[in-house]
A and B are shown apart, each in its own frame.
Chain A
Amino acid sequence: MSYIVDRRLNAKNKNTVNRQRFLERYKKRIKKAVSDAVDSRSITDMDRGEEVSIPAEDVSEPVFHHGSGGRRSVVHPGNREFVQGDRIQRPEGGSGGGGGDGDASNSGDGQDEFVFQLTQEEFLEFLFDDLALPNLTKRALKGNASYKYEHAGFTHDGVPAKLSVLRSMKAAKARRIALSGESRRLLKAAEAKLEEAQQQGDEFTSRRLLQEIELLRRRIGRVPFLDTNDLRYNLHLKRPVPTSQAVMFCLMDVSGSMDQQIKDIAKRFYLLLYMFLKRHYERTEIVFIRHHTVAKEVDEQEFFYSRETGGTVVSSALKLMKEVIAARYSPNEWNIYGAQASDGDNWNDDSPICRKILEEDLLPLVQYFAYVEITKRNHQALWREYERVAARYPETFAQRQITDVGDIFPVFHDLFQKRDAA
């Protein structure tokens, strides 16, 4: 006697809770492994899971065991050359090992690291764990400009396009049953009597019953199949939804002084920012703007890989950003983030203009604007101008310096650290 059950459609991941508890328990170690991983990873595969290893002794579950030593008798299979009384040199690495227990999982020694795989989701979770978007509240409160229709039950009136056929027919049927129920019951009884009378040959009663039946049938027939009362319409209500889309402006200097290594560092920084924004918004768009003396909106490939020479006018990029915002990204609907990377070179006269554009035109529109200077040299005019901006707008503007690859995550972490609400 057997029952065969198909469980394939059952919820998977019965162990999700246990898994999360495990991760939670070793959070600190995993986080360290994750941020180490970010530094060593290449740019393209940032967006996947990670193999994490933590010292095995930390996750061990201790039980009483026998230690090594003492007299230990073990039986092994596969003897070829031994006879009773032979004496064998003790092999390297201690006594006969855990093998004798007939217990394959008894691998106490040998493995020093407990290695396991984080999913991409978990990886990012740990990566961005204690980071938060600055000024998130501002937009959430005032940016309720978009609406969504939601189903909100049924009504008695509406336009034909919204007619709910199923509900209407249900209502009609209910009404028919209610209005004709008594007549049907009488009809049934009369029909039964009629049959009885016909069997007995009672002509008179039969005729009377036939008349009665006819009357009842007509009465039932008068109940309409579908009445105006029965009609039901789908009701949709307009609900405001908080804006949850973001656009990220990547601004980069591509003048001759920016070599590929600097661009790579910038790219990693942009990538982190992009993944971070993606986790917070339903929709995240990116606008790439590169500039030397003139700025141009380009696609990703061109942004990172094409090289040009010439001087540097940073304000051109800022101006273009302002134009793009005006044309396509209304601040009412979009959360706007700006990230600018440069090696610090700029046309000297241009730096004050940059500050002016930022302060007057851009900072009122954006959620946050971050400037990273990737250089090992001393700061130039641009940095000093930006320092003044940062002093006036500490909420929305920040600048940091990156000298090599290892700085990227710490700087990013620093920029987006959770702060106490101001």
Chain B
Amino acid sequence: MSTKRQPLSTGSAWTFELIDTYDREIGRIAESFGLDTYPNQIEVIRSDQMLDAYASIGMPIGYNHWSFGKHFVDVERSYQSGAMGLAYEIVINSNPCISYLMEENTMTMQALVIAHACYGHNSFFKGNYLFRTWTDASAIIDYLLFARNYVASCEERYGVTEVEKILDSCHALMHYGVDRYKRPYPISAEEEKRRQAERAEYVQRNINDLWRTLPKARAVDEEEKVCFPEEPEENLLYFVEKHAPLLEPWQREIVRIVRKVAQYFYPQRQTQVMNEGWASFWHYTLLNRLYDEGLVTDGFMMEFLASHTAVLFQPGFDHPGYSGINPYALGFAIYSDLKRMCEHPTDEDREWFPDIAGASWLEVLPGAMRDFKDESFIQQFLSPKVMRDFRLFGILDDDADSEIEVRAIHDYNGYRRVRELLASQYNLGDREPNIQVTRVNLRGDRSLTLRHTQHERRPLSDSTDEVLKHLHRLWGFPVLLESTWQDEVVGTHRCPAQEAGQDAA
């Protein structure tokens, strides 16, 4: 340990030189820990620009839509009335990795954000398999620019209202616009532009073919066999883009844009705990190392730790401020505990994690970051100690039962159960209703049938009919949604609404 402290700065004011110095020092330490990152682009912005960034759900360039305006006025009001502070960082999964520093922050906070976003999140984006498989960091900015310009040109040609209608409908189905298992082709703005016209024409022709009404010579025996789609399709927007009979080519293109954006955000939705935990673990580790090297002052550390603990605070379920498990806290705890198990394993760790106890943490942690998503990460690495620290307990709320049952708590009998429950809580497949396209009536009214397979008997919410209206707008013909539980249809929604007797349960 160095005996003499030679801090990089002592005051709280920041300058561009200081940011540069801190970034270089933090980068040096990050490299010594083997963090692999994209180059960083650090942008200093004002707080009102941060509000803008907020409202655009983290897209640095977005097409125009009223819903972003709605988010904006909402965020703006809660910020101005003091109900909400601004998160001090937004980071964008692109290459170079863009992160925003707010002008109002102190030097300590800037250093914290640099460590958290520019090295923590950045290395996660570069390393995690989901991001590697599903998103193309180098192409996203170009693609978003293409999307923005395309939407704008459509607005010019077809009118803002028309475009807005399509976007509204697409947004309603956005979460059902992702391929969950199939790897998408890498997107490229160049390519998109070049092939756009070509594709528009080709697709339009194909669709017409599907709906061909000219009589064929020998069509009689095939009549009954036509079953379309052959396999259920879970990507509703994809299905609409390719097969909706009445959409214009530009409308298909917009559907495609929303689909691509949804796909880009899909990994982020699946790695909240891991991503935030990883970034928090690294800002903590990196800044502590800075302190150990004598590069920052005690005051710096006090300010940093105050902010760190505030972000990582996990209120209990009966706390008035409780709003679920804090992904920062949970992720940080799991990564920190992994490190602890490597360095100071206990007998319990040796029993539960024989491979990890005593291993090198610099090998274990990157592995735990690279190859998992929230669900599998928790299933794999949530240790009894973390469960005890959080005092986790799992309950079952069954509407057929008059009371809630505590199924497992943080004790020897319950560890596995709690871990399983928590993991499935992060399973997007369970969190969102499972809805797929099963049938299109090709020879009749061209109606589209969706099937909702209930999970744990959970029904759809009241907004379902509204969403169906949007799907109906895209599809152009009647849309039917069947809700099934154990292969029995227990409820139906349809749009346009038909016989009043067929009401959903």
Interface residues of A (CB under 8 A from B): 1-8, 10, 12-15, 17-25, 51, 59-80, 82-90, 95-96, 98-104, 106-108, 114-117
B67 — which chain A residues lie within 8 A by C-beta?
Answer: 18, 22, 61
Given contacts A8-B103, A21-B164, A72-B456, whether A63 and B404 have CB atoms under 8 Å apart is no
CB-based A-B contact count at 8 angstroms: 290
Cβ of A23: which chain B residues have Cβ within 8 Å of it? 69
Indicate whether B364 reaches chain A with its CB closer than 8 angstroms. no
Tell me the minimal C-beta distance from A83 to chain B in angstroms.
6
- B409 touches A (CB below 8 Å): yes
Tell me if B137 counts as interface (CB < 8 A to partner A): no
Residues of B within 8 A of A (CB): 16, 19-20, 23-24, 27, 39-46, 48-49, 51-52, 55-56, 64-70, 72-74, 76-77, 80, 96, 103, 118, 160, 164, 168, 171-176, 272-273, 314-319, 322-325, 327, 330, 390-400, 402-411, 413-414, 418, 421-422, 424-426, 431-433, 435, 454-464, 466-467, 470
- Bound: A273/B314 CA distance, A: 55
Q: A63 contacts B175, CB within 8 Å?
A: yes
Contacts of B96 in A (CB 8 A): 3
Cβ–Cβ contact A70 & B45, under 8 A: no
Docked-complex contact B323 and A116, CB < 8 angstroms:
no
A62:B463 contact, CB within 8 angstroms: yes
User: Among B317, B327, B459, which residue has its beta carbon within 8 angstroms of that of A77?
Assistant: B317
B42 near A4 with CB under 8 A, answer yes
Query: Is B40 within 8 A of A70, CB to CB?
Result: no
Chain A proximity of B440: nearest CB distance (Å): 19
Residue of A nearest to B100 (CB): A7
Contact A70 B103 (CB under 8 A): no
CA distance in complex: A71, B74 (Å): 33
Q: Name the residue in B96, B173, B176, B324 with the highest tally of chain A Cβ atoms < 10 Å from its Cβ.
A: B324
Q: If the complex has contacts A2-B118, A15-B56, are A72 and B458 also in contact, measured as CB distance less than 8 A?
A: yes
Q: List 8 A-B contacts (CB under 8 A).
A: A3-B40, A15-B68, A23-B69, A71-B396, A75-B421, A76-B394, A88-B395, A102-B325
Looking across the interface, which residue of chain B has its beta carbon closest to that of A96? B397
Closest 9 pairs between A and B when the two form their complex, measured CB to CB: A78-B316, A22-B69, A70-B458, A18-B69, A62-B466, A116-B73, A76-B317, A67-B461, A65-B461
Given contact pairs A65-B460, A69-B399, a sample of 17 additional A-B residue pairs in the complex whose CB atoms are under 8 Å apart: A3-B42, A4-B23, A13-B52, A15-B56, A60-B466, A64-B176, A64-B460, A66-B458, A71-B397, A72-B458, A74-B394, A75-B395, A77-B315, A90-B397, A96-B404, A101-B431, A116-B77
Q: Given the complex, which residues of A lie within 8 Å of B173, measured CB to CB?
A: 63
- Nearest Cβ distance between residue A133 and chain B, in whole angstroms? 29
Contact pick for A21, options B49, B160, B391, B460, CB 8 Å: B160
Interchain CA distance A65-B461 in the complex, whole Å: 5
Query: Whose C-beta in chain B lies nearest to the C-beta of A108?
Result: B461
Contacts of B56 in A (CB 8 A): 14-15
Chain A residue numbers with a CB within 8 Å of B80 are 117
Inter-chain contact B456/A84, CB cutoff 8 Å: no
**B424 cross-chain contacts in A, Cβ below 8 A:** 73
Q: Tell me if A78 and B319 are in contact (CB < 8 A).
A: yes
Contact of A79 among B20, B23, B409, B413 (CB under 8 A): B409
Instruction: List the A side residues contacting B20 at CB < 8 Å.
Output: 2, 4
Contacts of A101 in B (CB 8 A): 324, 425, 431
Q: Which B residues lie within 8 Å of A107 (CB)?
A: 323
Chain B residues positioned under 8 Å from A87 (CB to CB):
403-406
Residues of the B chain whose Cβ atoms lie less than 8 Å from the Cβ of A83: 406, 409, 411
Query: Which residues of B have CB within 8 Å of A15?
Result: 51-52, 55-56, 68-69, 72
